[in-house]
Structure 1
């Protein structure tokens, strides 16, 4: 799993956090991929990490994979390894480093850390083996090719041409790269070819989409396209994050349809909390829901140790652990990350609120956040703010009204 760049499209959420560790439905984003593969028998994972933040966030949370295995009852347990402390110059270079360092002599399944997917791994591997492929790229049909890598394939699935992010009028097909690859161990020898060394020298980069795949197709290597039959969610932008959250809440990821603590089989409402302390708070929230003192509509996940006061409405949203929500708050189609305080009368629509955020608000000066606004970690928002289509970077105190702005620290 290459985990390299800064994930600029998800800023300010990723200003100080690895994209793979960004919380989605109260767990790190990459956990969905790990779970999908672990439940199909994969037991060995390598995080192709570049940079301190990526290493810190993933190693501190996952370690060697022991805790993950216990949490999801994966037996025998998974083993997670990490890229040695060697900076790569792209996703394909990360694969090169790790295949050499860990002496990998079996097929390698490469997965991008910001995607959530469902794939029948056995079927994919059968296809790869049948074609005697050097590399198999998982493709999916798309309506809009903008910003995607596009492949042109023969009737037998062999890729004739691959173009990374072509202009729509120049795209050879509508088959897009999902960032899921099967690599033959023989591919290790290609990294030593003069053509690859020339690319590295001239571009100081070896990326799968821009460099390595075009090199393979241009030199007539056996690269095949496998059409994805399952779901695939890109979580690379705030809009996509919120859409993926909605899809997951509605049960469109078969590997994880129960988020823990469902209060009733009739409704998709989960209030998490298993320990004695968190169970007390869980039961209090459920009591308020059943008495009609809290209005919850559509699928909603509420994390552990949350406090939600009366008069609050939550619709199609996720509230992460240790969050406190005051009276008469409205949260709709939004993600509230952990340890956030939201005071009374706040309205949050179609937005993402980062970790450890405080939103001040009262009856006379209510705060409103909407239109895919993204609030970074540890931000304080003062009473009476209206924030629309705005990004706020971490560790700021904000006062006033903002529309379509980016607020960065000075």
Structure 2
């Protein structure tokens, strides 16, 4: 079957970053530095490595930091050689990740597209988004990156249901098989979860999913979620597939994930990694007992 090629990516960065406050009180979450670059640039690099040359960054209003950063990287001769085009779209209201994707619709022109969230940093030998695109090209149906998590942690994610045979088949195919998804449940309790396979921040979507997002309006106080659009698409007879990602993922939207990402990318940095590794090997870390500051006493 002929499938329209994926040539564009949507990168929503309008989230509030509440899990990493106070770091996000003075800067967007996606602009938090990891070693020598902001978080968002790691995802941009992954998108470019997948062969995509047009990226739509979706910001919230009054976020000049992203334009400043784009102006900065355009001065890099290597970046100019890549011929990557980046446009900025604005999510006018904080109505959820589905609304953020919908804000980029004028650039998508009824073509399939990638969606990537900047606080999920993925590491694998082959660029994960290239694998996702290759799998999408087999069916032309929406395809999601999935990761297995401990069942006690499922309440933080969108969780998928799938036929019983699918996971064992995927294992035999070394993680390359497509898993048919029969339902999507957003942030279930462990007892409600249909599985422990969760959606991570990489999707290849089709215009039909944009149509489903559009049906979720008008806004009535409930977030317009991408998971709801996917669920409705399945209920209406659409097919969605998942790919079980087995590489390394950092949840850089959490404090511990951010620290882990700093350490990993620091150790693997081409210029700084050797010196950083030496520092970690040679350093001793005495335990420090922090004293809580006492409230000032009132003068008599």
**Are positions 1:136 and 2:143 aligned together?**
yes
Higher relative contact order (CA 8 A, sep 6+): 2
The 2-side partners of 1:130 and 1:249 are apart by 37
1:113 aligns with 2:118: yes
TM-score scaled by structure 2? Answer: 0.78
Number of residue pairs aligned between Structure 1 and Structure 2: 267
C-alpha distance 157-74 of structure 1, shift in aligned 2 (>3 A): farther
- Counterparts of 1:76 and 1:217 in 2: how far apart (Å)? 37
Shift in Å, 1:49: 0.8
* Residue equivalent to 2:250: 233
Whether 1:248 and 2:274 are equivalent positions in the alignment is: no
Alpha-carbon distance between aligned partners in 1 of 2:234 and 2:208, rounded to the nearest angstrom:
16
Aligned counterparts of 1:95 and 1:104: Cα–Cα separation in 2:
13
Which residue of 1 is the match for residue 81 of structure 2?
Answer: 75
Deviation at 1:85, TM superposition (A): 6.8
What is the 5 A alignment of 1:23-34?
Answer: 23-34=33-44
Note if contact 1:64-1:80 (Cα within 8 Å) is conserved in structure 2: no
Q: d(CA) in 1 for partners of 2:91 and 2:197?
A: 36
1:88/1:137 Cα in 2 relative to 1: closer, same or farther (>3 Å)? same
Does structure 1 conserve the Cα–Cα contact (< 8 Å) formed by 2:120 and 2:250? yes
Contact 2:57 2:86 in 1 (8 A): yes
Structure 2: segments with no counterpart, 5+ residues: 1-10, 167-177, 296-300
Alignment partner of 1:49 out of 59, 64, 69: 59
The verdict on how the C-alpha distance between 1:103 and 1:65 changes in structure 2, with shifts beyond 3 A counting, is: farther
More helix by share: 2
Report how far residue 14 of structure 1 moved: 0.6
Task: Tell whether 2:216 aligns with 1:180.
Answer: no
Larger radius of gyration: 1
Change in CA separation of 1:31 and 1:189 when aligned onto 2, cut-off 3 Å: same
Q: Identify the match of residue 205 of structure 1 among 223, 244, 253.
A: 223
Match of 2:159 in 1: 150
Question: Residues 366-388 of structure 1, C-alpha deviation per residue, up to 9 Å, x if partnerless?
Answer: xx5x7xxxxxxxxxxxxxxx367
Q: Which has the larger strand fraction?
A: 1
Instruction: Give, in whole Å, the separation in 2 of the partners of 1:219 and 1:109.
Output: 22
SS at match of 1:63: helix
Superposition deviation, residue 139 in structure 1: 0.3
Q: In structure 2, how many angstroms separate the alpha carbons of the residues matched to 1:103 and 1:124? A: 18
> Residues 126, 87 of structure 1: CA spacing in aligned structure 2 closer, same or farther, 3 A cutoff?
same
Alignment partner, residue 161 of structure 1: 183
Give RMSD over aligned pairs: 2.9
- 1:88-140: per-residue Cα shift (whole Å, max 9, x none)? 622112222212x224333211111211113433331222132231x221101
Secondary structure of residue in 2 paired with 1:83: strand
What SS class does the counterpart of residue 158 from structure 1 fall into? Answer: strand
CA contact 1:153–1:225 (8 Å) conserved in 2: no
Question: Any conservation in 2 of the 1:116–1:235 contact (CA below 8 Å)?
Answer: yes
Q: Is the 8 A contact 2:111 2:207 kept in 1?
A: yes
- Deviation of the 1:84 alpha carbon: 4.2
SS state at 1:106 partner: coil
TM-score (norm 1): 0.58
Alpha-carbon distance in 1 for matches of 2:13, 2:156: 19
Using a 3 Å threshold, how does the CA distance of structure 1 residues 85 and 216 change in structure 2: closer, same or farther? Answer: closer
Whether the aligned pair in 1 keeps the contact of 2:212 and 2:232 (CA below 8 Å) is no
